[in-house]
Amino acid sequence: MTFLEANVIIRYLTMDEPAKAARCERLFDRAARGQEVLTTNILVIAEVVWVLAGVYRVAKERIVDALLPLVSLDGVRVEAKGSVLASLGLFREKPIDFVDAYNAVWMQEADVKNIYSYDTDFDRLPGLKRVEP
């Protein structure tokens, strides 16, 4: 098993460096065929989303459409994969950023209903009550 870092995913999705993108594609093909097992975590996924949205100006729908197949590969193990998948769905559906989506999913899974925050994006999520300290 080998850790998968954000820049590999970004090179693959943006194809901004064709030689590197081709090597990344081969890596993901091996993972899809079960010849390689990759592991990563939520911080890597959050970095990928942040870079694609902020630097490359990719629309959130395209980001989700690109990440879902990668995260879902049998050969890619993602820490809290179910939570990441749910967060990508919430990120697509609501006008919130990915980290807020992940925190909302985490709160739901932990049965936490209240959040101290000045971020009014949480007001858009049913089942959560935002309170300012």
Average pLDDT on 22-31 reads: 97
- For the segment 63-89, the average pLDDT, to the nearest whole number, is 96
How does pLDDT run across 53-68, given as a tens digit for each residue?
999 999 999 999 999 9
Backbone φ and ψ for 33, nearest 5 degrees, come out as -85, 0
Pick the closest to residue 40 from 78, 7, 85 (CA basis).
Answer: 78
Strand partners, 118: none
* pLDDT of res. 46: 98
pLDDT value of residue 65:
98
- C-alpha closest to that of 79 among 41, 38, 37, 31: 41
> What band does 123 get if pLDDT is binned at 50, 70 and 90?
very high
Say how many C-beta atoms besides its own lie within 10 A of residue 11's C-beta: 19
Q: What percent of the chain has pLDDT over 90?
A: 100
Q: What percent of the chain has pLDDT over 70?
A: 100
Domains of the chain by residue range? 2-94
29: confidence class by pLDDT, cuts 50, 70, 90: very high
